[in-house]
Chain A
Amino acid sequence: MEIADLSMVEPTQSKLRLTDLWEKATGGGDVAARPGSRSSAEWPSSPRPAGVAEAVRWFENAVDMAEIPAFLFLVGGPGAGKSDTTSHLVRNFKEIDVVNDGLAHRSYIFETGARKLRLINDATIDSLKYATAPLVHEITQAAKSSEHFVACVNRGVLVDELLRVGQATSDNQAGILACQWLQSKKPTIAEGSEWQLTACETDDADSYLRSAELSQNGEVRAVIVAVFLDHCSLLERRPESHAVEESRIPDTGRYVVSPFSQRSRIAPTAIPAGYLLNAVIESLEPDAGETFLPNHLNPFAANLRSLRIPRIQQGLLSILRAAEISSGQRFTYREVWGAVVRCIVGDLPELVPADSLKSALAHDLNSTGLGAENKFLAIQKLAKYRFSQAIFDSGADDRMGHLQNPVIRMTRNVDPLLDSIPGDSYRLPITGWSTPVTSALSASGTLGSPLESIKQQLSLDDPFHAVLTDFDLSLDDAYLSAVQDDQISDQIRRTMVGWYGRYLTRLYATASGIPGFVREVEAWTQAWHLSPVLPQKDYIDLENSIQTLLRPRRTPEDPRSQTFIPLFDSRTDPIIGESLHPRVAVALGRIDLETVKRGDALALELVDGVHHIASIELDFNLIREALACTGRQSGLTDVSDTAVPRLERLRAAQLVLTDERTLRYKIIHNDQEIPFALEDREP
């Protein structure tokens, strides 16, 4: 079998109806599907997460050769594609000791020829055999019995196992070692013990695919491969795998984060989530969106029409990638499905059963009265299903609705409404972009068509032209009729203008792939790309911004001014400006900054001359805080209370006396900086 085949989930042949999507809206079962369940084959294909195809191929070869037992761990959260992979893996093996009760079980056993294969399909299900730390015992048991072993685990399970396992014995040593290795923890079992785990030469603790050998008294008892399914973003290019000898442990390509401003060069289908989006759209019946409503009032048909256009797909995928960067988390396939379904039918699957869709929509459409205002209100209700609205709004009025939906929880942080920067045209990441929309709504907002006004201001190749559909034109007509109606009050008119402004802002920004905080998103991807150096371009000078955050000068505008932090204060707020009372402070020295890539994350390393001071995650909040600095002055953002404590601790770490570090003491009083020294008297 070719790797290319393995890398894809088997595609479906039949076309989907719109209501079929209800099944794939965000959610899913609490437990993994039974292996052999064929439900996955009924859905559009999607590339498997990085490393999975290579690992599966390795495992199948190892089973064929039957020399040494093969252990495969699939690590990731729910919806990452673990059970889908195991289903593929065991498709040709015969299950033994079958229990036909229709329920999903923790483990299954298969005959593979020379050895049995023990599959732990869902390690979150309790074991009937082991009361505590079952996985640890199951791994050890498989190693002792020379069985092949496959386990789907999440990080929570690994932690829980090690918390509860207790003392190491010969019944759990192998399992403890494997779980510690999977968590990149130092082994607690001494060398010379019965069981040992040795990482393979090529093993990199920060890779999406890792390998090791498990030995008993010096004899190799199993070869282990682990795939971390959520290590690489499904919204970046999938790392290319290299051709390898069949028996060897797989060698994989490097994962690369693209600079955000260069994403428009990537074809949507070149990234896994884009491939799935495209496949879903193509798998729907040609008239899937047109079933329930007339075309000009049909947001679903409008969504499908917009999302068939590759440029619009690119824009949407960029928004989702920005959501990942801002939250520091990655979408699993389950969440990508959730986002795709949301972009086609909004939050309807959460509100209306699939078989009641038609009547619910008819009720919505007919429940409003006559007149321009009511006509607008009716179409406004439908507009919440437009993809550019649905991807940011839960639709629910309550705050908790936003927090509970796993897609919205991430995308709401990059809602373009949070940060619509004024500017005429979108040229990443220097200029603003929202002026065409705001000017269309300000002067002529109630006189002429805002949609036409925006179109006239944009170049002909702007994606906004492409995203517009009959639905948007109908909405624009309804809006114009309503705001020009003398019967409505100014307050209602203002509400309409405000809502429509927000609608157009999101539609325009989503089509172009402009998330909220686009400059910060660009800065983060640039920092990843340039690592270990921080970007120092004029418009994204992260090096100087972070230096300002860490070491704000007492007199910001004076380049000779130093940074002073109070010596014995509970928190290390730097002293800025004059100090009415004399305060004991320490002058901070120079700090060199560099970054280290850790998968899809970045760590910021602080070095004091030659000595390492500290390491912190260079996350989105820290970037936002840094870019809020202007002219060597710290800024303030809504995430300051998250970023500032970390910065303070970094400063405080420099107050610690070590053999290499002496402190430069000062008394800060009024505008003076009075040095003092300490006579070296031994205690």
Chain B
Amino acid sequence: MNIAASRLILPLPRPQYIRVPEGFITSLAWREYRLLQISNQPSSLLRISTTGEIKGKVLFRSTSNTSKAKSPLQTTAPATDDAVAAFGAALKSHGLQSAEEDEIIGESIVRAISGVTAAKGMGQAASPMTPSLAMLQNVAGVHAVLRPPNLGKTIELIRSMGAVTSSTATASASWARAVEQRSSFDPLLRIIDAAVGDVILPGSRVRKAASTDATEFNDWSGLFPNSPFSWFDTMWTQLTREDWVSRLPARVWTDWATTVLRLAFGAAYLWEAAWYESMARVVIGQHDPTWINVRAQMPSPLPWHAASESISVRDLAPVLMWRVHRAAQIMREIETWLEQGRSELSADDALKVMRNDEGLRKSLVRALGSKRKISSGNNTWEAIKYALKVRESFGEFADHYGLLAQNHRYLTVEPRTEWVAVIASLSCPEPGGETDVGRVLLGLDELGIRPGLADLIRLLEKAGLARGSADADQGVIVQSAF
């Protein structure tokens, strides 16, 4: 295969922990829209940067005390009775007709737009059902750091790597088209979006010109079929399609979009870790050192043990955490090696030369056996773990879309019911359609997840989406949830 050696190092930037799941859509929103300072905007503590973004770390609500921090977290949810009343008045001015007091109107909508609660009381984002709601937090706020990684760009990259051709619309443009479609038929969301823009956001929202940075990754397209990258491209195209947007209620669509983004993000970095581990093993092992073999020898990115196994067997934390740390070291070794004038080779040639480089082989053997944690590995592991695991389990703002569950020190695969609904439904050709377990399994396989047939059928039955049959095996019919 004529693939350049530089492609052995995947282009994903080093990620960081994302404190609220809504952060994924928020990062897309800030790629599509910016704020313009306007003179008659109500006074706000929020400031706009020269690039049209809100300065500092901003989240909708915060439950942690950050006032003593060097750069305290700012919140956008109306905090005082007056602010809530002003929001209520703005809703009315945009067309919400009610004799009820402004404060009650404002409070009811503020509660309605609140997203998932993060475990350990870290805070709460606004549910990004419209562009303005998505911009009630910024990328720094959802990462809880002043200089966050470019999450939106990472998502675009994941999509580019999975796209069959390079002409696919960007992930953020697809999202913006979908929410604008919803706005066109949902008057209440139009009113909320306008009122948030009027009295909460510190400037006027405008659509950015088409971003160009996404296209720079187009030459990665088609390199990784049957991977979380291709899964994301397929799912995102499907979910942002008109029929799915019009079929799902607003909050459900937003939750599903967030779920697809969380999964693609977490699975992409797990896949990356498996890729580097496989590369090291191929270089030092018996298989022909080729691109195809690196791909063929990859371990299961997210092992899914049968539910009947004991919790210690099902525990993923040690396996995946150490793999991520090892992968970070392997990546560094190979990156450094390639930088020494070898990036012009073809990938297969480079792998052959690696096999013959005793120094590199020793480094890779050391990395594969390493029990040393490194900071980039820590960050990556935290980012993966929190993207995939259930945040709050109970209550009004519970997370029904998590895949992993933390039980004391154990991290196990325990999908929540609505996670199953998303995966099963998006395996159907259209809303209201049907598919079979075989196709659901194929989709999960793309993600790097391989549940046993019996476990998957049990989950689908529990979610009310499938009914087993003695002879059906993979032929069990699965119905779309909507």
Contacts and interface: CB of A to CB of B under 8 A. Distances in A.
B109 A584 contact: yes
A581 B99 CA distance: 18
Given A581-B111, A645-B417, A156 B473 contact: yes
A132 to B, nearest CB: 14
Nearest to B180: A683
Interface in B379-429: 396-401, 417-418, 421
Contacts of B111: 581-584
A105 interface: no
A657 B105 contact: no
Contacts of A674: 98-100, 104
B295 interface: no
B14 interface: no
Contacts of A443: none
A123 to B, nearest CB: 11
B473 A642 contact: no
Contact of B129 (A156, A568, A652): A568
A160 B439 CA distance: 9
A656 interface: yes
Contact of A680 (B98, B187, B398, B421): B187
Interface in B409-459: 417-418, 421, 436-439, 442
A332 B462 CA distance: 24
Interface residues of B, number: 64
Contacts of B249: 652-653, 655-656
A80 B475 contact: no
A27 to B, nearest CB: 14
Contacts of A680: 95, 187
Contact of A330 (B98, B397, B439, B470): B470
A539 to B, nearest CB: 27
B462 to A, nearest CB: 5
A254 to B, nearest CB: 22
Interface in A71-92: 75-80
B190 interface: yes
Contacts of A679: 95-97, 187
Interface string B79-111: 000000000000000111111100011011101
A191 B111 CA distance: 54
Nearest to B252: A652
Nearest to A403: B308
B252 A567 contact: no
Interface residue tally of chain A, by bracket? Answer: 35 or more
A243 interface: no
Contacts of A616: 464
A674 B103 CA distance: 13
Contacts of A645: 417-418, 421, 462-464
A274 B135 CA distance: 68
Nearest to B104: A582
A583 B100 CA distance: 13
B191 A649 contact: no
A656 B108 contact: no
Interface of A: 75-80, 154-160, 163, 183, 230, 328-330, 332, 335, 400, 406, 566-571, 581-584, 601, 616-617, 619, 641-643, 645-646, 649, 652-653, 655-658, 665, 667, 669, 674-681, 683
14 contacts: A77-B469, A77-B472, A163-B438, A230-B471, A570-B397, A581-B108, A582-B104, A583-B112, A584-B112, A642-B463, A652-B252, A656-B246, A674-B100, A679-B95
Q: Which 6 A-B pairs have the closest CB atoms?
A: A77-B471, A156-B473, A646-B464, A155-B475, A679-B95, A154-B471
Interface of B: 94-100, 104-105, 107-109, 111-113, 116, 127, 129, 183-188, 190-191, 246-252, 255, 308, 396-401, 417-418, 421, 436-439, 442, 461-464, 467-475, 481-482
Given A163-B438, A649-B421, A674-B98, 9 more contacts: A154-B471, A155-B469, A156-B471, A157-B475, A160-B474, A652-B482, A674-B104, A678-B97, A680-B95
